[in-house]
A = this chain, B = another copy of it.
Amino acid sequence: VPEQTSYALTPSPFQGVTLVGGGPGDPELLTIAGMRALLGADVVVTDRLGPVSLLPELGDVEVIDVGKTPYGPATSQEEINRILVEKGSAGLSVVRLKGGDNFVFGRGFEEVIDLRDAGVPIRVIPGVSSPIAVPGLGGVPITHRGVSHEFTIVSGHLAPSHPDSLVNWTALAAMSGTIVLMMAVVNGPAIADVLIRHGRAGSTPVAVVVDGSLPTQRVIRTTLADLGAVIAAEDVQPPAIFVIGAVAAL
């Protein structure tokens, strides 16, 4: 092993709001740009997920926790946007820190629109996105040569039968590639049912990665037909990522 000197990350303040994708949870999966933005922040507006364990180490920074609990109480998106506009308009260096990537079911663009309308400068630093990274950490490749040429990432926040659901489940079931479900602990069983009803084999392999990237990470292998029973038996709690398809058996 060679002798290498360490590499110093210097603060990168930005007057306005920097959207930082924090990755799945392990602070080491934050990007260099994201860490430098945090080191240069006056204010951090943070969610419940992401690399929250490093926030206490940041020193003299105002941390505003607007974390949402699934289906629980939360700061409204309107209030989050209002806080970002207020702090960003005040000449401060503000970081909007989210788990994963801000634009993957993260409502980041609603924040962008309000900031843009208010004339607040915006900087975007993408993050390691959980639906891609977490399967890899769990030993499941989201693609594999000869197995899939596409993959679909689906929010499971709404039940398939919900009138606001925008997913074409018939088409999704007919796709040949990997399906990754996020935020699907509650609706996973109903989604498995609808995929089977529309033609996916009940024997389709499924991998469930719970607490991806964290010390408590675990991987459960099952099938589409058994997914509901396994979620209950293993007491799967968020955050969890479900990988559906042949890659889940590799």
Contact = CB atoms under 8 A, between A and B. Distances in A.
A32 B33 contact: no
A226 B110 CA distance: 28
Interface in A101-144: 101-110, 112, 124-129, 132-137, 141-144
A153 B150 contact: yes
B135 A103 contact: yes
Contacts of A104: 132, 142-143
Nearest to A36: B28
A154 B35 CA distance: 31
Interface stretch (A65-73, A167-175, A230-238): A167-175
A206 interface: no
A152 B59 CA distance: 40
A30 interface: yes
A53 interface: no
B150 A154 contact: yes
Nearest to A105: B143
A81 interface: no
Contacts of A158: 149
Interface string A144-171: 1111111111110110000001111011
Contacts of A109: 141, 144, 247, 250
Interface of A: 1-11, 13, 21, 23, 26-33, 35-36, 39-42, 58-61, 93, 101-110, 112, 124-129, 132-137, 141-155, 157-158, 165-168, 170-172, 174-177, 247, 250
Given A28-B31, A152-B175, 12 more contacts: A1-B42, A2-B60, A2-B61, A4-B59, A28-B33, A31-B32, A103-B141, A103-B142, A107-B145, A146-B166, A149-B157, A150-B155
